[in-house]
Each structure stands twice: as structure tokens, then as C-alpha cells.
Amino acid sequence: MGDGVPPVWEVLRGRGPVLVYRSRIGEGTPVVVKRVVEVQDTGALRRFERERRFTHLLPHPALPRLLGEGENWIAFEALEDALPEPPVVPSVVAALLSRLADALAYIHARGVVHRDVKPAHVLFRGETPVLIDFGIAGTPGDDLQREELSGTPAWMAPEQLTGGAVGPEADLWSLAALGLFLLTGQKPYSGDAEAVVCRRIAGEQSAFAVPDALEHDEPDLLRLLRTGLGEAAKRPSAADFVRLLAVRRLPG
């Protein structure tokens, strides 16, 4: 690992204080590089350094691997294959959610909240789903949370819209929404970001139209996911998700 920035191969995000692109390091190993280009943006620099720190602390099969770093860049393994096109078979959804929940349980136990769980942030290493992008991850009470609305409006938990402290429960709301999206093909909210924020602040609730056959065949899985969309204090923890997905039932 050194300070020589890998050359640009394919631009993934070419605007903003942090650029993202594909490149190669070493003997041609493909990587995804995040590079800070606006060093006067102190918020971006702090988020970048926080992501670098988290990456060193969070080795897990369902989390991205750090392969290189320099003064103003970090390089992760290049992952392929997005989520399967919904609707997805319930057993596949349950297995996928279980692996992601295990990753969330791992980071939550270390005081880290991802804060941006969504379909675009799930890629694959072979058959293993990997939760990527810790660019806005933080810890409960992190002062960076107060500087900006952190998350993707359609996928963030309700408490993320208030600007208060965001805990592990927020990740479970997003994970539950992800599960219902995979089962039904419906997003929790549709429309551009500003419109979604306005509708949600006005009190609009997410609604998934679940087919009758799915209601009949998978009542326990659906109950778990709907509980995940409920009040923060009543949501199952990530570890609970792993356990309950294994048995596919909720306690009465």
C-alpha cells in the first residue's frame, strides 16, 4: 500500500468531493477506488477518513475488502452482479437477508451503523452478497449526522428524516424494505428524492402490495419484515433477523 493513485479505468462517479472509479493495482487486480479531490471540503474529508477507519475494523465475508490505500484514496475489491430481478423466490430472499443481517449484526456489535442499506449497495462475491459503501456510515450520536440528511430518502428509516441520533434499528428498517422489494418488486417509496422526503415528512407510510399466494405461503417471513418496518423500539435486531430467518417464524 502506498500513495500512488491507481489510474482511472472506468468512472463510476465523476462528480462531487469524492470520485469513484474502477482501476487496477498490483499485477492487474481490478479494484474500485474512492479518491478525495476537494480537500477543502472538511465534511467529505472526515467522512472519507471515517470510512477508511471502519474498513480496517470490519473484516467479514459479507463486507467489502480493502486492497490498497494512500493519503487521499482507498481501493476496494471490485465486485460484480447486482441483486436478482424481483420477484425473487422466498427461500432465496431469506438466505440473502440472513447473510446481510449477519454482516449488520457484526458491524452493530462494533458500534457502527451503515445508514444506507439499499439494493444498489448489495453486490456479490461469487454467491455471497456483500454490503458495500460505508461512505455515510457512522456511530450513534456521530456529530456528522447533524450536518446533513444521511441516507437515501426512499430507503432510510423514518428516524433518519428527523436529524436525530440514528441507531442500528435504522439499518433493520432498510433491510426489511429490501426484503419486501425482492419479494414483490415494489420499492418502499417512488419518485425523486425531494418529493419522497416531503411525502414522508407529511406522514406517508410505505405500502407493499403482497400477492395473496405469498401471504398464504410465507406468513412468518412477511411478519418478520413488516415488524422490521415498524417502530424502532419494536424492530428485531440484526442478530434476531439471522435467528428468525433460520427458522422462518416470529414468536407470538
Query: Does the annotation count 220 as an active-site position?
Result: no
CA distances from 65 to 36, 46, 57 (A): 19, 21, 11
Sheet holding 73-77, edge to edge: 10-13, 18-25, 29-36, 73-77, 66-69
- Angle, alpha carbons 76-78-84 (nearest 5°): 125
Q: What is the dihedral of CA 152, 13, 53, 145, to 10 degrees?
A: -30
The per-residue DSSP string of 56-86 comes to HH---TTSPPEEEE-SSEEEEE--B--PPPS
What would you measure as the largest C-alpha separation in the chain, in angstroms? Answer: 57
Helices in the chain by DSSP H: which ranges? 42-57, 90-109, 168-184, 193-201, 212-217, 219-228, 238-247
Task: Answer whether 235's CB lies under 8 Å from 228's CB.
Answer: yes
Find residue 23's DSSP bridge partners. Answer: 31
Task: Answer whether 124's CB lies under 8 Å from 81's CB.
Answer: yes
Catalytic one among 3, 41, 102, 116?
116
Structure-block grid coordinates of residue 149: 440528511
| Unique residue bearing C-alpha cell 475488502 | 65
Among 21, 17, 13, 16, CA closest to 38 = 17
- Residues catalogued as catalytic: 116
